[in-house]
Structure 1
Amino acid sequence: MTTLPNVMCAVHMTGHGDTDKLSYRSDVAMPIIGARDVLIKVAAAGVNNTDINTRIGWYSKSDKADDASWSSEALQFPRIQGADVCGYIVAVGEQVDASRVGERVLIEPCLTEVNGKALEQAWYFGSECDGGFAEYTKVAASHAYKITSKYSDAELASFPCSYSTAENLLTRAKVKQGDKVLITGASGGVGSAAIQLAKARGAYVLALTSPSKQQMIEDLGVDEVVLRSDKLSDVMSANSVDVVIDLVAGSLFPQLLEVLRPKGRYAVSGAIGGAIVELDVRTLYLKDLSFFGCTVIEPEVFGNLIAHIEREDIAPLVAHTYPLKEIVAAQTTFLEKKFLGKIVLTM
């Protein structure tokens, strides 16, 4: 039987603010698992936008930042962030099959069960509860998915958040073979994931990106690249796409609706170009458009993602890896946005 330590290394977020709110420690108490939980030795954990947004209080709609979390509830500090986790089960609660010890797993970041109870409103792993920027973490067994893959731990840690978000966007928008799909923010983690997952469905994919990243996006197998420096109406016809997968919003939003066909579907899970947009409601109702806000993933999404990974329908995109103690450098590189794919922390 494996002897577990009493303390572990982890990164504490001590409040909302800059990177000075991140504290790497070697004396953090080990997680205590409940009857329906598993304890996971973390091998790698990806960095994503939610980590940054939560730290800086971006989710808050007030000046107090007491609603600056994924669920609009005040966070409890210190908090261990980290939603993208690949690791190995080292202990299980009394209601979990002991044969699961030793499994290599990915954690589903959108949680519907915590502390043995179903949640009325979903939590985000590493936001409303402690996550994976640590040597060990715990989660309900139902959210730890066994994975059998030749990919490395760091490569697998690039999948959970970005790819489940992308798979959820495509699921909600009912993307199917033959659909013409425009993806904004194509070089980011979710955008590049959406490209691969849409192509796996047999869709025709147009990707919106910057000139500096055009070749990288073309290498992912997109059918057309649309440059961010161009006005959409100058390079695309009105009513020319079936689906828009949007991660940008901002001033681009009205143009996205113009290129959607009548009865087109618009799905959004990000607003890196600005959260406040201009909407001509006539465009919405005269074109019979459907809008999908996508946060809580559908029940089938993560299992479908695991299947895509195991079949190698999609490939990991790891731009850089850093040891956990260099989390500030990792997040600094992340914010520079000069890479394609994911930045991953290793333990």
Structure 2
Amino acid sequence: MSEVSNVKNTTMKGVELIGHGGPEMLQYRTDIAVPSLTANDVLIRVGAAGVNNTDINTRIAWYSKGEGDDVDASWSGSALVFPRIQGADVCGEIVAVGSNVSHKRLGERVLIEPCLREANSQPLAMPWYFGSECDGGFAEYTSVASKHAYKIDSDFSDAELASFPCSYSTAENMLTRARVAAADTVLVSGASGGVGSAAVQLAKARGAKVVAITSASKTQELLQIGADEVITRDEDLVTALGNNSIDVVIDLVAGAVWPEFLKVLKPSGRYAVAGAIAGPLVELDVRTLYLKDLSFFGCTVLEPQVFGNLVNHIEQGNISPLVAATFPLERVTQAQELFLQKQYIGKIVLTID
């Protein structure tokens, strides 16, 4: 396909995941081919890319429910194709466009919507995730369907803007699916992480009361970003909050505490989940589910309006970036090491010079 381009390079630097396993599976290279475009695509010069749980989960095949064969280790439940450039959180500038895309988009500063409904100029039967089913942003250049590259008008830096796409769209999607409104009291687990801290801010932007669960050392920081109340991870939720006290649970943790979430939910309460960092297997008393008329929402695929709503929140100043640290792209393994320590609030971001 013909394209309009401001790029003379044919190769680029980037980080390739060459297989499932440890950090040694991440290889920094300077001779990767610059992506080619199909008709509906744009090429983006990456300014910064955020680090996420999904990067590590994908690398270690955490998403696979099999027994070592890794045939379902991607977000869509298929085998991952190697080498793969990861990175779902991307801020950058459009530097080339496919033949069906207006050349007026050249030079636009954009955020990439990580949940993809189109790839290679074709609609997808099942959505892909950027950096999982296709190459992502841990590189000097990346390509995506034009519809998934959202123009952003903001004074925030590339690193600050790269803290938003994955975590904040995941949080906004959970709030959207659970129909969070100003009258609700919302409980957020894992509130100091990327998605959790995003959910705190976005729930407050809707006018809701927010109760955050975090470690004692991070209490003050959660209050500063908008939490109305903070309880620590070692507290019993029913003792701290009371039965039937919460309208909506936004859960990124699951694990052993999970039955307590259902106890604190009010009748007709809503539970939304998009993570299981404390363990994916939980104990469910089905009687609680149906006797309290609870609604459960598993949240991966973004509702169509979610990413546009997120961009509007950013441009209107309703939410603020939380960048804990930045690393150059070639130090991706050190960035992931710090990420896994979970001793920070917000996001760790890779910068691409």
Answer yes or no: same fold by TM over 0.5: yes
Aligned twin of 2:300:
295
Aligned twin of 2:10:
6
Please state how far the C-alpha of 1:219 moved relative to its aligned partner.
1.1
Aligned twin of 1:206:
211
Out of 126, 130, 136, the residue aligned to residue 131 of structure 1 is 136
Any residues of structure 2 matched to 1:178-327 within 5 Å, and which? 178-327=183-332
Please state how far the C-alpha of 1:226 moved relative to its aligned partner.
1.0
Aligned twin of 1:157:
162
Please state how far the C-alpha of 1:48 moved relative to its aligned partner.
0.3
TM-score (norm 2): 0.98
Structure 2 unaligned regions, length at least 5: none
Q: Distance in 2 between the 1:328 and 1:223 partners? A: 36
Please state how far the C-alpha of 1:73 moved relative to its aligned partner.
0.4
Q: Distance in 2 between the 1:265 and 1:247 partners? A: 14
Instruction: Please give the per-residue CA displacement for 1:27-71, whole angstroms capped at 9, x wherever unaligned.
Output: 001100010000000000000000010000000001211211101
Q: Distance in 2 between the 1:17 and 1:212 partners? A: 32
Q: Distance in 2 between the 1:57 and 1:261 partners? A: 36
Aligned-CA RMSD value = 0.7
Whether 1:343 aligns to 2:348 is yes
Out of 23, 27, 37, the residue aligned to residue 33 of structure 1 is 37
Count of aligned pairs between the two proteins: 347
Letter in 2 for 1:25: R
Report the secondary structure of 1:334's partner residue.
Answer: helix
Aligned twin of 1:122:
127
Letter in 2 for 1:217: L
Aligned twin of 2:82:
77
Aligned twin of 1:42:
46
Determine what percentage of the aligned residue pairs are the same residue: 65
Please state how far the C-alpha of 1:2 moved relative to its aligned partner.
3.0
Q: Distance in 2 between the 1:199 and 1:11 partners? A: 37
Please state how far the C-alpha of 1:186 moved relative to its aligned partner.
0.1
Q: Distance in 1 between the 2:327 and 2:244 partners? A: 44
Please state how far the C-alpha of 1:8 moved relative to its aligned partner.
0.2
Q: Distance in 2 between the 1:171 and 1:12 partners? A: 34
Letter in 1 for 2:41: D
Whether 1:174 aligns to 2:179 is yes
Whether 1:92 aligns to 2:93 is no
Q: Distance in 2 between the 1:166 and 1:222 partners? A: 15
Aligned twin of 1:141:
146
Instruction: Please give the per-residue CA displacement for 1:292-337, whole angstroms capped at 9, x wherever unaligned.
Output: 0000000000000000000010000000000000000000000000
Letter in 1 for 2:198: A
Instruction: Please give the per-residue CA displacement for 1:128-159, whole angstroms capped at 9, x wherever unaligned.
Output: 00000000000000000000001000000000
Please state how far the C-alpha of 1:4 moved relative to its aligned partner.
2.1
- Contact 2:7/2:96, CA 8 A, preserved across alignment: no
Please state how far the C-alpha of 1:216 moved relative to its aligned partner.
1.2
Report the secondary structure of 1:193's partner residue.
Answer: helix
Please state how far the C-alpha of 1:213 moved relative to its aligned partner.
1.0
Structure 1 unaligned regions, length at least 5: none
Whether 1:52 aligns to 2:56 is yes
Letter in 2 for 1:207: A
Q: Distance in 2 between the 1:221 and 1:61 partners? A: 37
